[in-house]
């Protein structure tokens, strides 16, 4: 026999039901339109509800289903992400109630109306974001507000600190821990795995965590995943770095800056990547990873993310300043951003370029080799492994002697075993329409073409460049090949190529 | 026997399945994780797909389900909204492909980066919004961009024109067609049904369409719905207006400015309502409804939407200017916004106030009566039914003689039959903590309290005011009653009241 109180409790809960429903990132609960809890709590017509079970809480979108087919009246079906977040088992009691008001949204509204925020406001916002309390609409509004009225230096410092505070932090038993980062926007610029291998081979500690692509066809984590497992947890990452001096892991698996993943998903949907958010994203991850020194690659070119030297210098100055105020020494390198680096664009195609450079293979892309060596050189210099001005030579030597390749293989094995990057099932050339010389390559259109072909989700998809700036070509000669896994994706990309105007411009 | 082409077509389609799944506004398609179309088209991991059937297209979020339980491998289950938009029948073939890129998002990004947009850009954006091609993230970014860097006059004119262009337009066989609008922010300020009744009783044409609540506990459509059907289509609206000279309909049912409904849903989630969007929303609906003259009520008070006389005058000036450039004559009235109007806050509670005024009942709220009469008076004056300065007297006379009540009942009957507003099952007083005088009433906290109690979705929910500014009260005397349909909602609202600080401030 149950007491009246227990009766009341039983009546206010529903039984958890797992549907195996993958809803991307969305926590969703599905209840019957005639559900007694909805009626008793007045939840019908609410867009969000709070699910609670055994001390855990999840905000979920409320969907309702008519009739008998899918659910019993006392069942609440959860999407996979809600199921995981709530950590329940089949049939477990779930209580469903109103979502409490989010006080931090008042700060988002203040920012929308043009007022700047203080450290406490950023801490509240980022705390709610990391706890998955914000809807996509809230996230998009916060990010857009910080784009239209760009975050100032103080706000960027505060956002960075807030993003560090909500995640895990690594600490290392070493006085110098190095890192590198590229602000992106240049297809194929996949120097990170080379830099880690070179630097670790020379005895510096470089626990590198990378992101997946935001608006590009491949992030370092996407590329590296075709060569070795990258979803290391903190214990695995520590083990790899203790053993090899370096790693190339996906940052998302280790919660170093968990709010950033939520921001990145929205920035990707908007195809917007702003300075303040970029700086907070980069620096929060470096600092949380325990880095003391970081080298930042800023490619500059008319179709790169940073279009002018002046913009690049401003960004470098802001990066240095925010880093310094956050306890990190940053060095920025302005690099050539007029054309892609290497020949591949897309996770696996870039991995093939990396392997060629590491193995000193004939035909390995020399621009990728030189660029990686110059970045690794600065890392070696600020890390005290080389005299100023001599780092790049040491880096090239490390590659030429095969020490970087040996180290890279050891890191891959330590991360779980080396993999062979896939090759696409479908390729198609885009050919020169006339004889002439390659005078311009549009990085943005290349990136879009590679994404339409399926990159980064389809690992083998992307573009293989057949020409470089200044090269003479004959009519009909392939300028690039599009790689795709399916005929549908290939057709989709080629449809875009047909209307995009010059992607690679050839002039007589 | 099928030809190879037909085979290919059959293989690329799935069979439509109706789940009866209510997903609020979200078009969703659910497919099996082992679905052949997903694999052939490379759709797995895409967040959006394009559904096509018999010439109609819908962009839908792609959810996937594991295993046999829910769907056959060749079935695609649609949410109710996707089902309606696509207009399919059970088992009909649906093709599922990549979503084409939305060119108008480039304009949204330009706006995010601080550039102003021209008429063509607004036309493209609003066209895509009205066709439901924008995700919530896109909508939130567009609206936020126009809030942080407020729309200028030209942008507001262009947005207004774009919003009119994508919807239906009404035309009337009359030289003068009047309208009124309140910018909102003042709980209980439900003058519209009174103004329509007064004005129509005096022979002016007033085809009024109203919105549901955006950030308030009740919109005119929410309140009116408790008194008569408001979801009139164009034919019904024309019939009512031809017969009675006026109507009070919900604008959303007649597609006068269909993009606005999409914007409003996001503004509601953000609890943000900006000047440019407000003006475009109001004027696009008035112009599409065929109005020639409009009177706009701008309540001013420290906790109203417009907080100062200066802000109100700026808004009035912008409204007049944009209206004039859009072919509409607008008159703005700055009104007292220091406390709620009438006694009820919430759809049904406000409806009870309206009935009391129309019936000249004892105890009918005099502030509501006088405010409606002054607004109706200006409408009568600009509509040529009264000499300047004499409109309000004519309006009060129309109420006192019962002509407004007769007209109101006739309009309700013409709209489908008069209804009795519901009464809440649960009420609870908030009492004065001490003897003293009511010195301040916080409209924003009142609105929030009413919304937490369930308004506007729960028609009977809201607040009944027991006191007004300047009134003397004794300790323990009720300042207001909270009305709710369920104990859960009542508790939820009272939880807020306990922590909200002074909602009604009493000082000795």
- By C-alpha distance, the chain B residue nearest A269 is B137
Q: What is the per-residue pLDDT for A410?
A: 98
Paired with B464 in beta bridges are B344, B481
Mean pLDDT over residues B457-482, rounded?
96
Q: CA-based angle A100:A104:A110, to the nearest 5?
A: 130
Judgement on whether residues A378 and A481 belong to the same structural domain of the protein: no
Whether the bond into B456 is cis, omega within 30 of 0: yes
A49 vs A82: CA distance, rounded Å: 12
Question: Across the strands, what pairs with A32?
Answer: A65
Q: What share of chain A is helix, strand, coil (3-state, %, to 5)?
A: 45, 20, 35
Residues B185 and B256 in one domain: yes
The answer to whether A299 and A305 are in contact (CB under 8 A) is: yes
- Answer yes or no: is B111 within a domain: no
The mean pLDDT value for A208-222 works out to 87
Q: Is residue A76 part of a domain?
A: yes
pLDDT digit string, tens, across residues A152-165:
999 999 999 999 99
Q: Is the pLDDT of residue B4 over 60?
A: no
Say yes or no: B455 and B403 in one domain. no
Quick count: other Cβ atoms within 10 Å of Cβ B329? 15
Say how far apart CA B320 and CA B122 lie, in whole Å.
21
At A174, list the tokens: 């070493």
Query: What b/e sequence results for B314-327 when a residue is b if at least 16 CB atoms lie within 10 Å of its CB, and e otherwise?
Result: ebbebbbebbeebe
Residue appearing with tokens 């630097």: A199
Q: Are A94 and A53 in contact (CB under 8 A)?
A: yes
- Tell if the CB–CB gap between A112 and B33 is shorter than 8 Å: no
Contacts of A144 in chain B (CB under 8 A): 112, 140-141, 144-145, 148
Does a structural domain hold residue B166?
A: no
The pLDDT score that the predictor gives to residue A465 is: 97
Q: How far apart are CA A281 and CA A274, in angstroms?
A: 10
> How many angstroms away from the CA of B489 is the closest CA of chain A?
6
Q: Both tokens of residue B37? A: 């179309």
Q: Which positions ≥6 away from B362 have C-beta within 8 Å?
A: none
From the list B281, B280, B330, B332, the residue with the least C-alpha distance to B306 is: B332
Query: Each residue of B396-454: pLDDT tens digit?
Result: 999 999 999 999 999 999 999 999 999 999 999 999 999 999 999 999 899 989 998 99
Smallest Cα distance from B374 to chain A, Å: 33
Distance from CA of A42 to the nearest CA of B (A): 6
By C-alpha distance, which of B303, B370, B316, B380 is closest to B342? Answer: B370
Whether B90 and B213 map to the same domain: the answer is no
The span from the CA of A15 to the CA of A75, in Å, is 5
Residues B457 and B409 in one domain: no
B391 and B454 together in one domain: no
Beta strands of B150-265 (E only): which ranges? 178-182, 206-210, 246-250
Task: State the Cα–Cα distance between residues B114 and B246, nearest whole angstrom.
Answer: 43
Q: How far is CA A79 from CA A27, A83, A498, B64, B309, in A?
A: 6, 6, 40, 10, 50
Per-residue pLDDT tens over the stretch B337-388? 999 999 999 999 999 999 999 999 999 999 999 999 999 999 999 999 999 9
B192-201 vs B366-382: helix crossing angle, rounded to 10: 50
CA dihedral angle for residue B121, residue B125, residue B128, residue B130, rounded to 10 degrees: -120
Q: B371 in helix, strand or coil?
A: helix
Is residue B1 pLDDT above 60, yes or no? no
The CATH number of the domain where B14 resides is what? 2.40.40.20
Pick B144's closest partner by Cβ from A112, A452, A488: A112
In the three-class reduction of DSSP (H, G, I as helix; E, B as strand; rest coil), residue A365 is classed as coil
The ipTM of this complex is 0.86
**Top mean-pLDDT range of A23-27, A62-66, A480-484:** A480-484
B291-302 per-residue burial string, b: 16 or more CB within 10 A, e: under 16: bbbbbbbbbbbe
* Confidence bin at B119 (pLDDT 50/70/90): very high
**pLDDT, greater one: B47 or B147:** B147
A171 occurs within a structural domain:
no
Instruction: State both tokens at B23.
Output: 């997903």
Determine the distance from the C-alpha atom of residue A269 to the mean position of all C-alpha atoms in its chain, rounded to a whole number: 13
The CATH number of the domain holding residue A148 is: 1.20.970.10
Closest to B221 measured CA to CA, from B231, B211, B229: B211
Nearest to B486 by CA among A102, A46, A67: A46
Distance between CA A244 and CA A238 in Å, rounded?
10
Q: What values do phi and psi take at A433, rounded to 5?
A: -85, -15
> What is the number of other CB atoms lying within 10 angstroms of the CB of residue B66?
15
User: What is the C-alpha separation between B227 and B210, in angstroms, rounded?
Assistant: 14
Q: What's the pLDDT band for B8 if we cut at 50, 70, 90? A: very low
- First-to-last C-alpha distance (Å) of chain A: 91
Residue A421 lies in a domain: no
In chain B, residues with a C-beta closer than 8 Å to the C-beta of A490 are none
Q: CA-CA distances (angstroms) from residue B277 to B260, B273, B322, B503? A: 9, 7, 12, 29
DSSP string, B477-502: -EEEEEEESSHHHHHHHHHHHHHS--
- State whether B354 and B456 are in the same domain: no
Q: Is residue B116 part of a domain?
A: no
From CA B124, how far away is CA B118, in angstroms rounded? 10
B233 close to B168: Cβ distance less than 8 angstroms: no
Interface test mutation site (partner B, options A39, A112, A142, A461, max chain B beta carbons within 10 A): A112
Handedness of CA B31, B35, B37, B42 (dihedral sign): positive
Q: How far apart are CA B384 and CA A461, in angstroms?
A: 70
Subunit contact B70:A70, Cβ cutoff 8 A: yes
* Highest-scoring range by mean pLDDT, A33-47, B179-193, B421-435: B421-435
Q: Are residues A91 and A117 in the same domain?
A: no
For the stretch A358-385, pLDDT in tens is 999 999 999 999 999 999 999 999 999 9
pLDDT at B6: 40
pLDDT of residue A44: 67
pLDDT value of position B11: 55
Q: Residue A3: its pLDDT value, please?
A: 37
CA distances from B422 to A40, A305, B162 (A): 18, 59, 39
What is the mean pLDDT of the segment spanning B454-477? 95
B160 domain residue, yes or no: no
- Tell me which residues of B are annotated as active site: 273
Mutation to test the A interface, candidates B29, B32, B42, most A Cβ within 10 Å: B42
Residue B312 in this model has a pLDDT that exceeds 90: yes
Query: Which of B364, B390, B415 finishes a domain?
Result: B415
* pLDDT-derived band at A279, boundaries 50, 70, 90: very high
Residue B392 has pLDDT above 90, yes or no: yes
Same domain, B192 and B304: yes
- The proportion of chain A whose per-residue pLDDT surpasses 90, expressed as a percent, equals 80
Say if strands B462-465 and B478-484 run parallel, antiparallel, or are unpaired.
antiparallel
Residue A474 CB contacts under 8 Å (≥ 6 apart), including other chains:
A432, A435
pLDDT above 80 (res B3): no
User: φ, ψ for residue A244 (rounded to 5)?
Assistant: -115, -10
Beta bridge pairs of residue B243: none
Distance CA(A177)–CA(B7), nearest Å, equals 60
Which entry of A273, A353, A442, A485 is annotated as an active-site residue?
A273
Do the chains contact at B136 and A140, CB–CB below 8 Å?
yes
Average pLDDT over chain B, rounded to whole? Answer: 92
Q: Select the residue of B30, B105, B488 nearest A41 (Cβ to Cβ).
A: B488
- The answer to whether A168 is a known catalytic residue is no
What pTM value is reported for the model? 0.87
- Residue A420's contacts (CB-CB under 8 Å, 6 or more residues apart) are none
Question: What pLDDT, in 10s, does the model give residues B232-255?
Answer: 999 999 999 999 999 999 987 788
**Is residue B216 within 8 Å of B447, Cβ to Cβ?**
yes
A39, A67, A136: residue with CB nearest B137:
A136
- Domain holding B285, by residue range, is 178-415
How much is the pLDDT for B334? Answer: 96
pLDDT-based confidence at A124, cuts 50/70/90? very high
pLDDT per position as a tens digit, A187-208: 889 999 999 999 999 999 999 9
B402 and B265, same structural domain?
A: yes
Of all residues in chain B, the percent with pLDDT exceeding 70 is 97
Which residues in chain A have Cβ-Cβ distances shorter than 8 Å to B449?
none
Report how many domains make up chain A.
4
- The last residue of a domain, from among B387, B415, B443: B415
What phi, psi does A425 have (nearest 5°)? -80, -20
> Residue B44: pLDDT above 70?
no
Q: Within a domain: residue B153?
A: no
3-state secondary structure of A165: helix
What distance in Å separates residue A148's CA from the closest CA in chain B?
A: 5
Q: What are phi and psi of B290, to 5 degrees?
A: 85, 15
Please, are residues A435 and A422 in contact by the beta-carbon 8 Å criterion? no
The sheet with strand B504-507 has its strands ordered as: B472-473, B436-441, B504-507
d(CA B219, CA A24): 35
Give the mean pLDDT of A284-304.
93
Domain with residue A458: its CATH number is 3.90.1170.30
Band of residue A15 on the pLDDT scale cut at 50, 70, 90 = very high
Q: Assign 3-state DSSP to chain B and report helix, strand, coil percentages, each to 5.
A: 45, 20, 35
Query: What φ, ψ does residue B450 adopt, rounded to 5°?
Result: -65, -40
Of A160, A149, A137, which is closest to residue A112 (Cα–Cα)? A149
Residues B400 and B463 in one domain: no
Does pLDDT of A7 surpass 50? no
- The whole-angstrom separation of Cα B199 and Cα B291 is 14
Q: Is A442 left (phi over 0), alpha (psi -120 to 50) or beta?
A: beta
CA distance A205 to A292: 10
Specify whether B401 is located in the same domain as B443.
Answer: no
| Residue where a domain terminates, one of A140, A165, A190 | A165
- What is the CATH classification number for the domain harbouring A305? 3.40.1030.10
């Amino acid at each position: 026999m149950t007491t009246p109180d227990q009766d009341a409790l039983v009546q206010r809960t529903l039984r958890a039901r797992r549907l195996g429903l993958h809803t991307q990132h969305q926590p969703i609960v599905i209840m019957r339109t005639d559900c007694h809890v909805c009626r008793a709590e007045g939840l019908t017509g609410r867009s969000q509800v709070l699910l609670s079970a055994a001390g855990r809480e999840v905000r979920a979108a409320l969907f309702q289903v008519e009739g008998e087919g899918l659910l019993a009246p006392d069942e609440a079906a959860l999407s996979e992400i809600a199921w995981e977040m709530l950590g329940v088992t089949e049939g477990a009691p779930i209580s469903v109630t109103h979502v409490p008001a989010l006080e931090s949204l008042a700060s988002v509204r203040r920012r929308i109306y043009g007022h700047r925020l203080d450290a406490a406001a950023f801490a509240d916002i980022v705390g709610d974001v990391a706890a998955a309390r914000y809807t996509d609409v809230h996230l998009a509004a916060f990010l857009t507000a910080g784009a239209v009225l760009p975050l100032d230096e103080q706000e960027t410092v505060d956002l960075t600190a807030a993003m560090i505070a909500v995640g895990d932090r690594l600490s290392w038993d070493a006085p110098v821990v190095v890192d590198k980062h590229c602000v992106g926007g240049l297809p194929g610029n996949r120097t990170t795995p080379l830099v880690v291998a070179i630097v670790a081979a020379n005895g510096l500690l470089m626990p590198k965590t990378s992101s997946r692509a935001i608006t590009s066809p491949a992030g370092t984590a996407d590329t590296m995943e075709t060569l070795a497992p990258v979803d290391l947890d903190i214990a695995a990452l520590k083990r790899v770095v203790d053993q090899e001096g370096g790693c190339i892991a996906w940052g998302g698996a280790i919660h170093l800056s968990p709010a950033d993943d939520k921001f990145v998903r929205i920035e990707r949907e908007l195809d917007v990547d702003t300075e303040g958010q970029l700086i907070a994203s980069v620096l929060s991850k470096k600092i949380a990873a325990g880095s003391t020194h970081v080298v930042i690659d800023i490619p500059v070119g008319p179709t790169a993310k940073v279009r002018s030297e002046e913009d690049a210098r401003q960004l470098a100055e802001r990066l240095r300043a925010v880093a310094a105020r956050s306890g990190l020494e940053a060095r920025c390198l302005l690099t050539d951003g007029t054309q892609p680096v290497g020949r591949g664009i897309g996770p696996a195609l870039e991995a093939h370029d990396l392997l060629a450079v590491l193995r000193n293979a004939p035909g390995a892309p020399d621009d990728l080799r030189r660029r990686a060596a110059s970045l690794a050189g600065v890392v070696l210099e600020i890390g005290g492994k080389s005299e100023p001005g001599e780092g790049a030579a040491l880096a090239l030597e490390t590659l030429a002697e095969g020490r970087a390749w040996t180290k890279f293989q050891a890191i891959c094995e330590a991360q779980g075993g080396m993999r062979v990057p896939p090759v696409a099932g479908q390729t198609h050339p885009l050919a020169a329409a006339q004889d002439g010389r390659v005078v311009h390559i549009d990085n943005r259109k290349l990136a879009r073409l590679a994404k339409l072909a399926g990159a980064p989700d389809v690992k083998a998809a992307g573009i293989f460049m057949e020409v470089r700036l200044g090269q003479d070509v004959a009519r009909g000669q392939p300028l690039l090949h599009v790689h795709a896994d399916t005929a549908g994706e290939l057709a989709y990309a080629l449809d875009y190529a047909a209307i995009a105007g010059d992607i690679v411009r050839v002039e007589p």
